[in-house]
Amino acid sequence: MTEPNVNLMYSGTTDHSLEPRDWEEFRRLGHQIIDDLVDDWRTIRERPVWQRVPDEVKTRLREPLPLEGQGAKAAYADFLRDVSPYPRGNCHPRFWGWVSGSGLPIGVLADLLASGMNSSVGAFESTVAMVEEQVLDWLKLALGLPNESSAVLTSGCSMSNLIGLAVARHAKMWIDVKNEGMFGPHSRPTLYISCEGHSSVQKAVELLGFGNVSLRRVPVDDQFRIDPVSLLQMIRADSEAGHTPVCVIGNVGTVGTGSVDPLDTLADICASEGLWLHVDGAFGALGWLDEKTRPLLSGMQRADSLAFDLHKWMYLPFDIGCVIIRDRLTHKAALATTGPYWTHVPGSGSYPVDLPNLGIELTRRFRALKIWLAIKAHGLNGFSRGISMNVDQAFRMRKYFSEMPDFETMPGSINVVCFRFCPPDTAEINQLNQELLRQLQTGGKSFVSHTWLNGRFMIRLAITNHRTTQDDIDAFCEEVVALAQALPRRSLKRAAHGDQ
């Protein structure tokens, strides 16, 4: 296999300044923050419930993007000066506006601990899922709902309403809207994504009533990038069949291999066919900050909408993501709703930038603070260096396994590496690598996951970690080779039972 990103030469970047350099100093800052919070709560009655933001603070909150960091302590001093004195007011004992919670102190500590654990509550064994299940059982009991009922925590009731109505629609509609969409088989709006696209796009398509079958899966080339010729043929064929093509979804960093679709070509196709270009750049969009990767992402800035995460390659604790829409008026028109309790009263405190009307959730956690503090403390360049370092690490690992006898790499891009052990004398390569994965995951020395590419079970990893060092990469490579060579090949069939 050819190495796809020959331009991504290993440059030896090793900058770990995103981790505290002096843990004792960091501890003192942490203690100070807790002390300040407690003082704040204890004296809250002495302050106004709400007050206008002074002009000089407004000006400072428009400061240019900090490229170099000023350190955590100085960033925190800015927070104390410019942010914390002018809250929305709902922690105050005399705040009764709209419907807001008051911020239970123990919950604040819990949020700190949860951010510290920074575990994504997914389908993998860890106590965080067990805690959520237990809490859900308690809530059902507390509210007198049957224990057999199904439940999930969300980012707020807007998400909960969306989910509830999606289930209602699925249960009660006379057509299978999730799959078929609202439009019936003969004339439907159609969307296009490569067959390497992410499941969250399918979920969005289903929830919006387009229907899963309206999402056309376009074939990919040998590097798992969308094939623009097939794309154009599919768009034209749908139009001729009476459907209405509306949107192309480009991938910047597919979840399987980190592949980047040819975005300039997609943008050209969308312009000539009159389609919306949405880019799913969950982690890959941040590759823009690495100079070696940026040329690969050319065309990203032509997207009508760009979705990306900050809890992946900006290293921030869950959960925080972002969407950027080129046209502000269209964005708001698509999502805005209003109510008599929301109308703007000139001269009151209402703020013209209406963030809930640009998204789905109404009550929204102050997610922005973690990125604000992080960028001020480390500067954008701190993140560029971390991202660049991860790209180099992935390059080095890919090179290692592509040169190692009895190993095979698949095209992987940016920060994703896919490899497998494939000794020539073994037939059951997939089972062999599943056993290798089990040993790696349960061995406790490193953790990677897997994917299937062209029917092949691949060990897969995405390096979005500001703490990884070159030594970590080297130790992992050695561990893999040692484990692979010791794999008990005769007991393979039993070990892999039930897995495929």
DSSP 257-311: T--B--HHHHHHHHHHHT-EEEEE-TTGGGGGGSTTTGGGGTTGGG-SEEEEESS
Closest CB 408 distance from ligand PLP, rounded Å: 24
Choose the stretch contacting ligand PLP; rule: CB under 6 A; options: 211-219, 280-288, 367-375, 483-491.
Answer: 280-288
Closest CB 281 distance from ligand PLP, rounded Å: 8
Q: CA 287 to CA 308: how far, in whole Å?
A: 11
**3-class DSSP state of 295:** helix
Helices and strands, number each (H, E), in the chain: 15, 10
Q: CA 130 to CA 204: how far, in whole Å?
A: 27
Q: CA 402 to CA 396: how far, in whole Å?
A: 10
Contact string (CB under 6 A) for ligand PLP, positions 178-217, x = contact = --------------------x-x-----------------
Contact string (CB under 6 A) for ligand PLP, positions 321-350, x = contact = x-----------------------------
Closest CB 367 distance from ligand PLP, rounded Å: 12
Count CB atoms within 10 A of the CB of residue 275.
Answer: 20
Q: CA 341 to CA 356: how far, in whole Å?
A: 14
**3-class DSSP state of 453:** strand
Residue number with CB closer to ligand PLP (69 or 256): 256
Closest CB 50 distance from ligand PLP, rounded Å: 33
Residue number with CB closer to ligand PLP (83 or 296): 296
Closest CB 462 distance from ligand PLP, rounded Å: 8
Tell whether residue 309 is a contact of ligand PLP (CB under 6 A). yes
Choose the stretch contacting ligand PLP; rule: CB under 6 A; options: 32-40, 98-106, 275-283, 486-494.
Answer: 275-283
Say if CB 249 and CB 278 are below 8 A apart.
yes
Contact string (CB under 6 A) for ligand PLP, positions 421-450, x = contact = ------------------------------
Closest CB 255 distance from ligand PLP, rounded Å: 4
Number of residues that bind ligand PLP (CB under 6 A): 8
Tokens representing residue 330 in the block:
């269209």
Q: Identify the residue among 8, 191, 218, 282 touching ligand PLP (CB under 6 A).
A: 282
Q: CA 122 to CA 118: how far, in whole Å?
A: 12
Closest CB 321 distance from ligand PLP, rounded Å: 5
Q: CA 420 to CA 434: how far, in whole Å?
A: 10
Tokens representing residue 375 in the block:
């960028």
Say if CB 193 and CB 231 are below 8 A apart.
no
Q: CA 415 to CA 458: how far, in whole Å?
A: 16
Choose the stretch contacting ligand PLP; rule: CB under 6 A; options: 21-29, 68-76, 235-243, 277-285.
Answer: 277-285
Closest CB 198 distance from ligand PLP, rounded Å: 3
Q: Which residue is nearest to ligand PLP (CB)?
A: 282
Residue 180, C-beta contacts closer than 8 angstroms, at least 6 positions apart:
211, 213
Residue number with CB closer to ligand PLP (198 or 292): 198
Closest CB 114 distance from ligand PLP, rounded Å: 16
Closest CB 287 distance from ligand PLP, rounded Å: 12
Say if CB 216 and CB 162 are below 8 A apart.
no
Residue number with CB closer to ligand PLP (198 or 278): 198
Alpha-carbon dihedral sign for residues 262, 419, 216, 208: negative
Strand ranges across the sheet with 244-251: 215-218, 189-194, 244-251, 276-280, 305-309, 321-325
Residue number with CB closer to ligand PLP (321 or 423): 321
Say if CB 3 and CB 288 are below 8 A apart.
no
Q: Identify the residue among 280, 290, 392, 435 touching ligand PLP (CB under 6 A).
A: 280
Tell whether residue 255 is a contact of ligand PLP (CB under 6 A). yes
Place of tokens 């900058």: 15
The residues binding ligand PLP (CB under 6 A) are 198, 200, 255, 280, 282-283, 309, 321
